[in-house]
Amino acid sequence: MNEKKLKEEIRERIEELRRSLTYHGERYYVYDSPEISDYEYDMMYAELKALEEENPEFYSPVSPTVRVGGKPLEKFEKVEHSYRMDSLADVFSFEELRDFTDRMENTLGTPKYSVEPKIDGLSVSLIYENGVFVKGATRGDGVVGEDVTENLKTVYSIPLTLKEPLSLTVRGEVYMPRGVFEKINAEREATGKALMANPRNAAAGSLRQLDSKVTAERRLDIFVFNFQGGSLYIDGRIPASHTETLERLSELGFKTLEHTATVCSYDEVQKHISKIGEMRESLPYDIDGAVVKIDSLAEREAVGEGTNTPKWAVAYKFPPEEKETTLEDIIIAVGRTGVLTPTAVLSPVRLAGTTVSRATLHNLDFIRQKGVMIGDRVILRKAGDIIPEVVRSLPEKRDGSQREFEMPTFCPSCGERVYRDDDEAAVRCVNSRCPALVLRSIEHFASKGAMDIEGLGPQIVELLIDNRLISDAADLYGLKVSDVEKLERMGRKSAENLTAAIERSKTAGLERLVYALGIRNIGEVAATSLAARYGTLEALMDARTDQLVEIADFGEITARSVVEFFSVDGNREFCKRLMDAGVDTHSKAEPVGDKFAGLTFVLTGTLPTMSRDEASELIKKAGGKVSGSVSSKTSFVVAGEAAGSKLTKAQSLGVSIIDESELMRMLSV
């Protein structure tokens, strides 16, 4: 392979990793809804960082590697941190940990290390003035966070006044105890509400409630683990070590980290991390690793800070937790798109904060690939620390009672024959009136990411269908209190609450509505892009494939899915019924124009009056695409001062080169 082709493949891989990390980082840090495990994210991050260091010509100022963390949501006031809340560099093996301690010892001789559990929660800063708690904020991106003061006041372990009138800032980790998490989920399950994914996400979501009363009900807790700045002593003394600051913070009334140790060598560091790992299951809260820090504050100063992380500390991350259990049976669930999904019925086992008794097996190909048989002992873990999955079977533990699984030839819900497409692994029921499809499609329509109809869980949907009050989601908007209150387990108040929630969902906007329609290959991100591009449902219904592929990250398959959905008369009639019911079919986002439709821009150098991010937004709002690299498909390169290799490549390819003023002229024409 020639060098030019190799470099192009490296560039494409870097861009792919940046896109994935940006998306998954937003799901984790902004929306508290991760789709992959921390371990998978960390592996992608490590790969990207290594590639960028080896190929500096592909540097990007918006790469995830130059960021500290996520960005704050708009629903709280923004707070600029007086003391930057940096993240830590991660290590994933004891070999990497040894590299860290070797570096420290080469610089410092024989330093002392503080080793402590890494709490799996949400990092916050607490600000005190003259001993009084005055403000609390989430970490956000490390520079700017969210003001959650009133919610933090509901956390009983946070002192509202200190034992001495000091002015200082500390950092802590808010978490939800496992016992609280399990109780809340039991209550939610009993009332038909969606279960919380894990204690970490439950804590993050609870702390971001606009109503502090809701936060108070969640019984959050906190460990304070760092002194950020200010004064710890009235007489002006300066603490000498991290251990001393924690002892002092405890004296002032803070709940500080448990199970910490101060040690003097790599062997002792490793030993204490192993000890923390062994107690992981017995702790009343979740941890995902251990933090190793230089204890002496003066020695920290000598080691210094990196660009985004301190050089004097690392976070050792535990690998994903795995447990062994028995796969007792395999049952079939029919999804909203008609796909028959095998689901493992497991002997209940506690895993990553919850008790697991079910796990998806995806499809028959997956089952055969894993070599899974009914009755097998299997290894289980959680993808994204959320979704249980079977990692592998243990054939050496078979006793002859195990049996092969076969997919049914008829739908278990409606009895119609099922089909498998030649180009996909899924087995599908194509009966549009299949009760399972109707049920799942209504559940999806009402789900949090879609129309967000509170209280309309699976049990209520099934109750409404069984009593012939609804046959699809559009029927929800014709429900009357008098009809609903007669149902089992309902009543006047419950019926009023449900119909009010359905009425409120009318204003959800086009972004949520498009996702709620359940179009194949259209998730929340793609739905938002469609809403921004077309502005109204009426316009989207007449979209053409050649238009759709011009939307960023839309390919032929995604575009075809949209066109095919709206080409079905029944789907168009369904949309018309929603409109007639008064559902808002307009986008809440600023409309995207088509002035730059089909054009791809690359920005390079420093622009005279705006940042490249600002210029990118203007291009996107005009319907154009912004790419991080120059190719023969690039329409224009917008070059500013100190433009580098991108400008050179554009010149060699004959790509049109413009400046900021020309870009603004094109936008105004």
- Residues labelled as active-site residues: 118
DSSP labels, 17-63: HHHHHHHHHHHHHTSS--SS-HHHHHHHHHHHHHHHHH-GGG--TT-
The tokens for 117 are 């559990």
Query: For residue 417, what is the DSSP state?
Result: B
Query: For residue 174, what is the DSSP state?
Result: E
Question: Nearest 5°: CA angle at 393, between 392 and 396?
Answer: 135
The tokens for 152 are 């933090």
**Minimal CA–CA distance to 84: which of 185, 151, 171, 198?**
171
**Minimal CA–CA distance to 360: which of 412, 418, 426, 416?**
426
DSSP H or E segment with residue 382: strand 377-383
Q: State CA 507 to chain mean position distance.
A: 25
Helix (H, G, I), strand (E, B) or coil at 262: strand
Beta strands in 271-409 (DSSP E): 287-294, 313-317, 323-334, 340-351, 354-360, 377-383, 387-393
Query: For residue 167, what is the DSSP state?
Result: -
Residue 197 amino acid letter:
A
Percentages helix, strand, coil for the chain, rounded to the nearest 5?
40, 20, 40
Dihedral sign of CA atoms 222, 226, 231, 237 in order: positive
The tokens for 88 are 């830590």
Helix (H, G, I), strand (E, B) or coil at 635: coil
Residue 125 burial (CB count, 10 A): 24
